[in-house]
A and B are shown apart, each in its own frame.
Chain A
Amino acid sequence: AQKITQTQPGMFVQEKEAVTLDCTYDTSDQSYGLFWYKQPSSGEMIFLIYQGSYDEQNATEGRYSLNFQKARKSANLVISASQLGDSAMYFCAVLSGTYKYIFGTGTRLKVLA
């Protein structure tokens, strides 16, 4: 069965600094996708970044990058130059051949001014 683990229930970061949100996953499939989503206090879920299991390069999208270590089954999200608007809940998710998205329990990030 697939499983996603986010071990940091909450984190603080100073504005303009970088922060890493941890995510480890467990899947027996060879082909899978890893995703990060942001959920602000307003409730909507916003897609941030995607990493495919066969991608050799780490994914980047603006200030977001994904530190993908396949052998360790980790897909950590790095947010550079944090902004106050980055304060939100962040979810890691995996999707593989069963078509079922599995989400982690999330990490609540608070950016401090």
Chain B
Amino acid sequence: DSGVTQTPKHLITATGQRVTLRCSPRSGDLSVYWYQQSLDQGLQFLIQYYNGEERAKGNILERFSAQQFPDLHSELNLSSLELGDSALYFCASSVAGYSNQPQHFGDGTRLSIL
């Protein structure tokens, strides 16, 4: 058990819809990361937050947004969903996001767009 909690584990929805994925980091971790893992794109870094502030942005679409709340949990919002958004979405956390700190991953949310 990594200590990172992601909900829901599975999500099935239709094109055009909007969903929210939730992540609670490990106790004591201030930094949260979001990733998308699809079969053809591998593991893609989306965005990182540190103590409530956005710190780094990766290949995140404009239809996607995220935030980290004062209690350090984070949400990833995906809107105007397309079939290609079907993927496994991971949240990870680390103490402060420095280069000598490993990330600990949640079990992921599997999103299926019908």
B86 on interface, CB distance cutoff 8 Å? no
B102 on interface, CB distance cutoff 8 Å? yes
* Number of residues of chain B lying within 8 A (CB) of chain A: 25
B52 on interface, CB distance cutoff 8 Å? no
CA distance A104 to B55 in the complex (A): 22
Cβ contact within 8 Å between B55 and A45: no
CA distance A53 to B99 in the complex (A): 9
* Number of residues of chain A lying within 8 A (CB) of chain B: 26
Starting from the known contacts A98-B56, A103-B45, A104-B42, 6 additional A-B residue pairs (CB-CB under 8 Å) come to: A43-B88, A44-B107, A47-B102, A91-B43, A99-B48, A99-B56
Closest 6 CB pairs of A and B: A45-B105, A33-B99, A99-B56, A103-B43, A47-B102, A95-B99
